[in-house]
Amino acid sequence: MDILRKALTVIAITVLLSTGAPTFGQGPVETVTIGVFLSNLMDQLEQAIDQARSAGESLEIQGGREVSIAIANAQNAYSDSLDKTINTVDPKVKSALDQLQSMVNDIKSDAPIEIADISTRAQQVVNSLPFRAHEPQLTKFTPTFIVPAQQSYPVVLSFAGNFEYAAKQGFSPTMVLNGKRCNVSENTTQNLRFTLSVADIFPATANVDPNKYGHTTLVLVVPWETPGLLGIGGKKQTDQYRIIVAALPASPGKIVLQHTVMQPNTETRRFRSSGFRLTSQREGGNDDHKDVPFSVTPDIGWHVVRNTSKFEGSCHGDTSESFGGDGGDHVVYSVTTIHHKVGESRICDFSISFDETRTVTGPVPAPDENIGLRWGDTHSIPYPAGSWTLIYDAFDGHHAEFKGADENDRFLKVRDEQGSSLIGTADPKTLVWP
C-alpha cells in the first residue's frame, strides 16, 4: 500500500509540474493530493522570491513571507488530510487552497502588490483553517528583514501566535536553520524567541551579490498535545512551519564620490591690436617715414607665443613693413612710407596679431570614485570641503546627494570629524527596515 501511495504521489507531482501553476477545475490537477499541492505552492513561492530579490523587489519578498506563513499553517491544519486528493475534499478546503494559489500567483506576477492586502488575505485563510483543539497557530514572524554584516551581532527571531504547550516540560519548541537545530531562548504561550548570531543566519563569507536581497528558509518545530479521553493520555504531536527569512542587500546601495582637484591649465587665444596708421600724405606732414617701430604687448597676465605674429594691413603706394622681433613679450614691426610729390598717395592702415597664452590653476573634475560600503562601515573623504559631492542611490530606490555634513538620510550619514568628512552607514544592530 505504501509503495502504491508513493507511486501515485510521484505521478501527481509530475502532472503538477507539467501543467504549471494549478487552478481548480482544470483536468487532472484535481487528482493532486493536498500535501503535494501545498508543497508545490511553497516551491513556487521560493522561486518567485528568488526572482524578486534579484530584481530588487522588496514588496514581493515581504508578501511572499506572509504567504509562506499561511501555507505552513495550512500544512499543519490539514495534516490529517494531506493524502486526500483535491477533488475529494470539502468545498471550504478547496476555497482556502484556491486563495493560497491566488496569492502565490500575485507574488509571481509583475503586477504591483500591496502588503496590507496580502497580509489581510493571508490572515483570512489562516482564520478559516480547521485547527484542532490546542494546536499551535503562527501569525507573525519578525524581523521583516535581517541586516547582514561582516562583523557578527545577535539577531532575535520572534514568532507570534498561539503556542499553548511551549512552556511545558518536554514540549520546548526548536528551530532548524542552515542544517543546525537551535533551542528557543524565550518562550511564552504567545511568543517564541530565538537568539542567533547573524553569521549563523546569513554568513558574511557567503558568495552573494552585495546589491541583492538575500533569503533563506527555516523550519520552526512546535510540539503540542491532543487531549486524551477525559483529559488523560493525550497524544504528543509536532507542527512544523517552513518560513522564508529575508535579508537586506549587504550594501546600502551605490555610493559615488565626485570631486575636483586644483590643476594648472594652459589657455591660448588670438590677440589682435588696435588699428595703426602711418602715412606720408598731408596728415603725415608730406614727408618720408622710414622704419618706424610699432611695438605691441599682450593682455595683462598673458604672454606672447613666439613665431605666431602677423602683420595685417591695407597699404597703398610706396610702403614696406618688416618684422622686428617677438621677445620679451613684445611684438615689433617696422613700417615705412615714402612721400612722392607726384603719383600715388603713400598710406598704411594695419594691426598686429599673435597668439597669447597663460597658465591658470583651477578646479578640474577628477574621475568618479565608487565607494563600496557595507552596513556599519565608515569611510573618510580625503578632500577639502566644497570640492566634493557624494551621490547615493539607496537599495530601496531613493536618491540623495551630500556636499558636506548631513545626517538626515536614514541609511547614510556624513559627519564632520576633526576637520575632515566621514561617511558612515547605518548600524546593522539597530536598523529596522521597513
**406 shares its domain with 382:** yes
Per-residue pLDDT at 207: 55
Per-residue pLDDT at 195: 97
- Within 10 angstroms of residue 184's Cβ, the number of other Cβ atoms is 21
Whether residue 346 is predicted with pLDDT greater than 90 in this model: the reply is no
Residue with cell 587665444: 269
Q: Average per-residue pLDDT in the chain?
A: 89
**305 shares its domain with 194:** no
* HSE toward the beta carbon, residue 171, CA cutoff 13 A: 24
In a domain, 433, yes or no: no
**278 shares its domain with 354:** yes
Per-residue pLDDT at 55: 82
- Could you give the number of structural domains in the chain? 4
Per-residue pLDDT at 418: 83
Cα-Cα end-to-end distance for the chain = 51
Taking only the tens place, the pLDDT of each residue in 380-390 is 999 998 999 99
In a domain, 76, yes or no: yes
Which cell numbers in the block locate residue 337?
Answer: 612710407
Please choose, from the candidates 143, 200, 198, the residue with its C-alpha nearest in 3D space to the C-alpha of residue 177.
200
**210 shares its domain with 126:** no
Per-residue pLDDT at 25: 38
Which range has highest mean pLDDT (105-114, 225-234, 324-333)?
Answer: 324-333
In a domain, 226, yes or no: yes
In a domain, 164, yes or no: yes
State the Cα–Cα distance between residues 146 and 62, nearest whole angstrom.
12
**4 shares its domain with 125:** yes
In a domain, 434, yes or no: no
**239 shares its domain with 152:** yes
Taking only the tens place, the pLDDT of each residue in 49-75 is 988 988 888 999 999 999 999 999 999
pLDDT category of residue 343 using cuts at 50, 70 and 90: low
State the Cα–Cα distance between residues 293 and 311, nearest whole angstrom.
13
Per-residue pLDDT at 35: 95
Which cell numbers in the block locate residue 398?
Answer: 531613493
Stretch (H or E) spanning 12: helix 2-19
Which cell numbers in the block locate residue 178?
Answer: 542552515
**344 shares its domain with 276:** yes
Per-residue pLDDT at 150: 86
Let me know: does 429 contact 153? Beta carbons within 8 Å: yes
Per-residue pLDDT at 208: 65
Last residue of a domain, one of 313, 336, 360: 360
State the Cα–Cα distance between residues 116 and 19, nearest whole angstrom.
31
Taking only the tens place, the pLDDT of each residue in 227-265 is 877 666 678 999 999 999 999 999 999 999 999 999 999
pLDDT category of residue 130 using cuts at 50, 70 and 90: very high
Taking only the tens place, the pLDDT of each residue in 188-211 is 999 999 999 999 999 865 556 788
Whether residue 408 is predicted with pLDDT greater than 70 in this model: the reply is yes
State the Cα–Cα distance between residues 424 and 406, nearest whole angstrom.
11
- Residue 199 lies in domain: 132-249
